[in-house]
Amino acid sequence: MMAPSRGQRRAVVLLLLLSVVLITLDHRGEAFRGVRSAAHTVVDPAQAGVTTLVAPVGRFFGGFGDLGDSGQKIDALQKENAELRRQLRESELSSTRSEELQKLELLSGQGGFTVLPAVVTGLGPSIGFEWTITVDAGRRDGLRPDQTVIDSDGLVGRVKQVSESSAVVVLAVDPGSAVGVRVAGRNALGVAAGNGLGPLTYTPLDPTTRVQVGDRLLTGPYGGSTYVAGLPVGEVTKVSGDPGAPAREATVAPYVSFASLDLVGIVLAAPRADPRDRLAPSPPAATTPEHTP
Amino acid sequence: MRAGPGAAAALAILVAVVLQAAVLSRLPLPGGPPNLVLVLVIAIGLAGGGSAGLAAGFGAGLLTDLLSDHPVGVLALCFALAGLLAGLLDADVRRSVLLSVVVVAVLTGAVYLTYLGVMGLLGQPVADGAAGVLGTIAYDVVLTPFVVPLVMAVTRQFAPARRGL
């Protein structure tokens, strides 16, 4: 091992201090929103390109290039543009991922909300302790932070950060994520927290609530969560504590297979009325929730 | 021609970050994903010395931070230290591909511990600890014999006159 030279030592101290300053600034607030968005604007197109090459289906990216830059900043026009874009995207996607898209449309049709389909172009490049995905739709398609993201099986997560043509989605399994949920068929509210790629943990708000293995969880009603209400979240697979006694916590296998996300939908317009149990998957015996360790 | 190696390193880091997000993180492998960016930073340290490793690590870490969800600066700190340490090793250690595998394994483990430590200090939620790290170390070790000789070869292209140093 060589001792660092004087210049190196100075550089080390400088960069370490800089890191600490950056960490402190970012930890205390959203100091780097603009820079993060700029980084995504640069990297995400390349990422989408690589995904196109790697994915077995790639031809649907080709047609979008010309539409993004109308130069006009008129609100109505932009909205119309986004809607056309959504339709275009749907028609182009339907030739390549028709089955997934149909299931997604079925779910959004049942729930009565408008969904923009998007393709996952990458996972967070971090070192594996956080669960985010990048999708190929952004501000110009009408995406805003905190919109709910689903796939044909149920809740995926929510939009965290939006740049012009891409967005970062925090998955419901992220350790920092907590989803307000309700047990299907009842009014038992609770919180489903993420644990990485393992199952979710359900904690009831009212400690006397009883949940059973096989209970289906949906996103909670308005006001109870930032997510659109009534979306399938997962199924209870294990209840802690004595059988029959009120449960402290339950293990929930998510309906969505987070390890193999490909086509997702961003909920642009939520229904006026809570869909209640309409979207709940058919009773436990009929469904085998997919879940990858 | 002083800009040559720096520009090449910057380009390589950009490509690695894109590949990391679009391909490697998405591979359905057991354990954590391979970390090409970290292997590249260590390779640059081994090939170019402490200053090169420090700069490459800080840059690559910062870019990864900006594209991730955790506070900016955490991986810049971790990767900069890894690059520096790789570059400070004795020259004969740095030239051996076999030993570079050991260096990558040790530094990958150290980076993960540092990351978890910093995130813990900040009170950020982190789940799925040790098991995933072992997977990442194994995959990084597999990547090393491909990445390190390549970076060494490119570095030699930029400095053909410097021999044995």
- Percentage of chain B surpassing pLDDT 70? 92
The DSSP H or E segment spanning A232 is: strand A232-239
Give the pair of three-digit tokens for residue B39: 């292997």
Among the partner-chain residues A2, A18, A36, the one whose CB lies closest to the CB of B66 is A36
Indicate if the pLDDT at residue A46 is higher than 80.
yes
Distance from CA of A3 to the nearest CA of B (A): 7
Q: Nearest 5°: CA angle at B49, between B45 and B54?
A: 55
Is B139 near chain A, with CB under 8 Å? no
Q: Tell me what the mean pLDDT of segment B48-77 comes to.
A: 92
pTM confidence score: 0.74
Residue of A nearest to B111 (CA): A127
B16-29: pLDDT as tens digits: 999 998 888 877 77
Q: Tell me what the mean pLDDT of segment A19-27 comes to.
A: 88
Residue of A nearest to B92 (CA): A1
Indicate if the pLDDT at residue B64 is higher than 90.
yes
Distance from CA of A183 to the nearest CA of B (A): 25
Does A4 sit within 8 Å of B50, measured CB to CB?
A: yes
Indicate if the pLDDT at residue A70 is higher than 50.
no
- pLDDT at residue number A285: 46
Q: Could you tell me where the DSSP H helices lie in chain B? A: 3-22, 36-48, 50-67, 74-88, 91-95, 97-122, 130-158
A241, A222 in Cβ contact below 8 A?
Answer: no
Q: Tell me what the mean pLDDT of segment B71-88 comes to.
A: 93
A229, A111 in Cβ contact below 8 A?
Answer: no
Does A51 sit within 8 Å of B72, measured CB to CB?
A: no
Residue A114 makes CB contacts below 8 A (sequence gap 6+) with A86, A108, A267, A268, A269
B11, B60 in Cβ contact below 8 A?
Answer: no
**Residues of chain B found within 8 Å of residue A46, distances taken between Cβ atoms:** 14, 18
Does B37 sit within 8 Å of A170, measured CB to CB?
A: no
Residues in chain B: 165
- pLDDT at residue number B102: 93
Residue B149 makes CB contacts below 8 A (sequence gap 6+) with B97
Closest CA relative to residue A264, chosen from A102, A135, A90? A135
Indicate if the pLDDT at residue A262 is higher than 70.
yes
Distance from CA of B160 to the nearest CA of A (A): 23
Please give the Cα distance from A60 to A95 (Å, whole number): 9
Among the partner-chain residues B18, B89, B132, the one whose CB lies closest to the CB of A50 is B18
Of A29-33, A94-98, A136-140, A282-286, the one with minimum mean pLDDT is A282-286
N- to C-terminal Cα separation, chain A: 41
Please give the Cα distance from A259 to A119 (Å, whole number): 14
Q: What is the crossing angle of helices B50-67 and B3-22, to 10°? A: 40
Binding-face residues of B in 4-33 toward A, CB within 8 A: 14, 17-23, 25-26, 28, 30, 32-33
Indicate if the pLDDT at residue A64 is higher than 70.
no
Complex ipTM value: 0.79
A266 strand-pairing partners: A116, A149
Among the partner-chain residues B19, B73, B116, the one whose CB lies closest to the CB of A50 is B19
- pLDDT at residue number A68: 38
- pLDDT at residue number B47: 92
- pLDDT at residue number B130: 59
A87-134: pLDDT as tens digits: 777 776 666 677 788 888 888 888 788 889 898 888 877 777 778 899
Please give the Cα distance from A293 to A79 (Å, whole number): 41
Residue B4 makes CB contacts below 8 A (sequence gap 6+) with B158
- pLDDT at residue number A211: 84
Of A41-50, A157-166, A241-250, the one with minimum mean pLDDT is A241-250
Is A12 near chain B, with CB under 8 Å? yes
Of A21-30, A215-224, B18-27, the one with minimum mean pLDDT is A215-224
N- to C-terminal Cα separation, chain B: 19
The DSSP H or E segment spanning A81 is: helix A75-96
**Residues of chain A found within 8 Å of residue B22, distances taken between Cβ atoms:** 47-48, 50-51, 54, 121-122
Q: Tell me what the mean pLDDT of segment B82-111 comes to.
A: 89
A189-218: pLDDT as tens digits: 889 998 877 789 998 888 777 888 889 999
Is A129 near chain B, with CB under 8 Å? yes
- What is the rounded average pLDDT for all residues in chain B? 86
- pLDDT at residue number B77: 94
The sign of the CA dihedral B78, B83, B89, B95 is positive
Among the partner-chain residues A16, A25, A196, the one whose CB lies closest to the CB of B127 is A196
Does A22 sit within 8 Å of B28, measured CB to CB?
A: no
The DSSP H or E segment spanning A203 is: strand A200-204
- pLDDT at residue number A293: 44
Among the partner-chain residues A40, A47, A128, the one whose CB lies closest to the CB of B132 is A128
